[in-house]
């Protein structure tokens, strides 16, 4: 049988730096566990634009459709701010999500014990936190038509459309209920049914899928603004949160800070099962390309490393190896190894991106 395949799209900014650490770990699995991946690499985002004049070449898109999963670093940077909207780096990522139909975006927010003191919230609020945001990823206001900047009379109008079909809501709701069944069996659905019709439909469909297919799961509904407030007030009340594309974008950044740093949060974007029964998938850190620190060896590679752990679990059925890698990260944090984002202003010298990767590899060695 062919080796499992991975397409690496490291992208822009800190993307290549954090991905270099994942490549070390892929090398470790090959050398020490006999788990060999066929790894290919290509361009996405600004670097793809620089070479091809498009943030995602058709050949890259075609490759992404063929591999077992895609690992993505980050896209974007100030250099590309003034590009036409249609070729902005982010369009490359959004095209991957849309054409691979990756409708279910899992964004776990877990607070490692070693970092509980570091969160901007009180320790008792975040210690032991373990929640998952399931964000709808291929529809809503990110993709709805009509969209654009138009002229009406003597002024311009910017238009985006929030649009959700019943089936789009139903499939991401199922994904959230399935996730809850493997965890603490609780789903909170967030929308703005008080002001948006799409929110009213969202609430109805989630409730219907629950009543028909998942009556054993505890379901609640919250307005997304109140949800943001509750996430800061007492996040441990949640287990799985399911929400739309835009609210999920905002709520997952907020949830990230509960864990201490945006540099800690991995994500999995999953679609329908492929011929091998595993979902079509793309894994990426929640953080962006961080152009302000790019190329300086300061970035925290943990979000990207933990994204690879999610790939081991969801794309390769290697749950035990995923746990091994997550525990290696936990060990390194417990030992006090810290990149700059995980430190207060006066708490010592941070390690570099690559030293953090080396420490994780050493912890993997120690796990054998
Ligand atoms: C994210 C990012 C993306 C989004 C950008 C880079 C297009 O913020 O994955 O959360 O808005 O979805
Ligand atoms: Mg975001």
Domain end position, chosen among 258, 289, 307: 258
Output the DSSP codes for 289-317: --TTTTTTT----HHHHHHHHHHHHHTS-
Are the CB atoms for 281 and 308 separated by under 8 Å? Answer: no
The pLDDT value given to residue 119? 84
Where in the sequence is the domain holding 341, given as residue range(s)?
1-110+262-368
> Is the distance from the beta carbon of residue 341 to the nearest atom of ligand 1 less than 6 Å?
no
The pLDDT value given to residue 20? 98
Domain end position, chosen among 234, 258, 282: 258
244/335 same-domain check: no
Indicate whether 70 belongs to any domain.
yes
> Would you say residue 303 has pLDDT above 70?
yes
Cα distance between residue 117 and residue 58, in whole Å: 46
Q: How confident is the model at residue 2 (pLDDT cuts 50, 70, 90)?
A: confident
Cα distance between residue 265 and residue 192, in whole Å: 26
Output the DSSP codes for 123-139: HHHHTT-EEEEEEE-SS
Q: What is the mean pLDDT of the chain?
A: 95
Does residue 107 have a known ligand-binding role? Answer: yes
The pLDDT value given to residue 354? 98
Here the CATH number for the domain that contains residue 162 is 3.40.718.10
pLDDT digit string, tens, across residues 76-100: 999 999 999 999 999 999 999 999 9
79/158 same-domain check: no
105/153 same-domain check: no
Cα distance between residue 261 and residue 239, in whole Å: 20
> Would you say residue 47 has pLDDT above 70?
yes
Residue nearest (by alpha carbon) to ligand 1 atom 10:
249
Indicate whether 138 belongs to any domain.
yes
Q: How many independent structural domains does the chain possess?
A: 2
Are the CB atoms for 198 and 162 separated by under 8 Å? Answer: yes
Burial-class residue 278 by CB neighbours within 10 Å (0-12, 13-18, 19+): middle
227/279 same-domain check: no
Angle between helices 302-314 and 319-334 (to 10 degrees): 160
Domain end position, chosen among 258, 276, 293: 258
Indicate whether 124 belongs to any domain.
no
Indicate whether 87 belongs to any domain.
yes
Q: How confident is the model at residue 116 (pLDDT cuts 50, 70, 90)?
A: confident
The pLDDT value given to residue 98? 96
Indicate whether 116 belongs to any domain.
no
Indicate whether 215 belongs to any domain.
yes
Cα distance between residue 164 and residue 155, in whole Å: 29
The pLDDT value given to residue 310? 97
Residue found under tokens 């950044």:
253
Residue from 90, 98, 263, 285 whose mutation best tests the ligand 1 pocket (most atoms within 8 A of CB): 90
Average pLDDT over residues 6-11: 98
143/254 same-domain check: yes
The pLDDT value given to residue 117? 83
Q: Provide the phi-psi class of 178: left if phi over 0, else alpha when psi is between -120 and 50, else beta.
A: alpha
The pLDDT value given to residue 88? 97
Residue from 72, 249, 253, 291 whose mutation best tests the ligand 1 pocket (most atoms within 8 A of CB): 249
- Considering only CA atoms, which of 106, 71, 125 is closest in space to residue 260? 125
Q: How confident is the model at residue 222 (pLDDT cuts 50, 70, 90)?
A: very high
172/192 same-domain check: yes
Average pLDDT over residues 159-178: 98
234/343 same-domain check: no
pTM over 0.85: yes
Report which ligand 1 atom has the smallest distance to the Cα of 93: 7
Are β-strands 104-110 and 130-136 bridged in parallel, bridged antiparallel, or unpaired? antiparallel
> Would you say residue 345 has pLDDT above 70?
no
In sequence order, the 6+-apart residues with CB closer than 8 A to the CB of 315 are: 4, 68, 69, 278, 279, 281, 283
Structure tokens belonging to residue 292: 């302000």
Q: How confident is the model at residue 343 (pLDDT cuts 50, 70, 90)?
A: confident
The residue ranges of DSSP E strands in 15-64, in sequence order, are 38-42
% the chain with pLDDT above 70: 99
The pLDDT value given to residue 290? 96
Average pLDDT over residues 90-117: 94
Indicate whether 118 belongs to any domain.
no
253/272 same-domain check: no
293/343 same-domain check: yes
186/147 same-domain check: yes
Q: How confident is the model at residue 263 (pLDDT cuts 50, 70, 90)?
A: confident
First-to-last alpha carbon distance for the chain, in angstroms, is 26
Cα distance between residue 243 and residue 251, in whole Å: 9
> Would you say residue 233 has pLDDT above 70?
yes
301/325 same-domain check: yes
Indicate whether 117 belongs to any domain.
no
The pLDDT value given to residue 203? 98
Average pLDDT over residues 234-259: 94
Strand, coil or helix: 140: helix
The pLDDT value given to residue 318? 97
Structure tokens belonging to residue 26: 């892929």
102/151 same-domain check: no
Neighbour count for residue 307 (Cβ, 10 Å): 24
């Amino acid at each position: 049988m062919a080796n499992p395949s991975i397409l690496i799209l490291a992208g822009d900014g800190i993307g290549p730096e954090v991905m270099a650490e994942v490549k070390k770990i892929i090398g470790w699995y090959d050398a020490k566990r006999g788990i060999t991946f066929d790894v290919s690499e290509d361009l996405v985002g600004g670097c793809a634009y620089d070479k091809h004049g498009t943030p995602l070449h058709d050949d890259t898109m075609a490759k992404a459709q063929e591999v077992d999963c895609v690992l993505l670093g980050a896209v974007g940077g100030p250099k590309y701010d003034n590009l036409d909207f249609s070729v902005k780096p982010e369009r490359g990522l959004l095209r991957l999500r849309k054409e691979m139909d990756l409708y279910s975006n899992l964004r776990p927010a877990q607070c490692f014990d070693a970092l509980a003191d570091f969160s901007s919230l009180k320790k008792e609020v975040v210690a032991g936190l373990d929640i998952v945001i399931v964000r709808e990823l291929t529809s809503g206001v990110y993709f709805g038509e009509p969209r654009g900047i138009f002229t009406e009379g003597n002024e311009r109008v910017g238009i985006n459309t929030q649009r959700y079909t019943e089936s789009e809501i139903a499939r991401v709701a199922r994904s959230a209920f399935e996730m809850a069944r493997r965890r603490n069996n609780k789903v909170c659905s967030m929308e703005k049914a008080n002001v948006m019709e799409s929110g009213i439909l969202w609430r109805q469909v989630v409730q219907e899928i629950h009543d028909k297919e998942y009556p054993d799961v505890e379901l609640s509904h919250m307005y997304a603004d109140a949800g943001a407030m509750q996430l800061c007030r007492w996040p441990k009340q949640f287990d799985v949160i399911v929400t739309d594309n835009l609210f999920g974008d905002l709520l997952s950044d907020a949830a990230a800070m509960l864990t201490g740093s945006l540099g800690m949060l991995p994500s999995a974007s999953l679609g329908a099962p492929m011929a091998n029964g595993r979902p079509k998938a793309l894994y990426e850190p929640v953080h962006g390309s961080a152009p302000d620190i790019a190329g300086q060896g300061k970035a925290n590679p943990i979000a990207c490393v933990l994204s690879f752990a999610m790939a081991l679990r969801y794309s390769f059925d290697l749950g035990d190896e995923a746990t091994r890698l997550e525990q290696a990260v936990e060990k390194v944090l417990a030992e006090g190894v810290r990149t700059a984002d995980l430190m207060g202003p006066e708490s010592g010298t941070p390690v570099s991106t690559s030293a953090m990767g080396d420490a994780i590899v050493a912890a993997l060695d120690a796990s054998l």
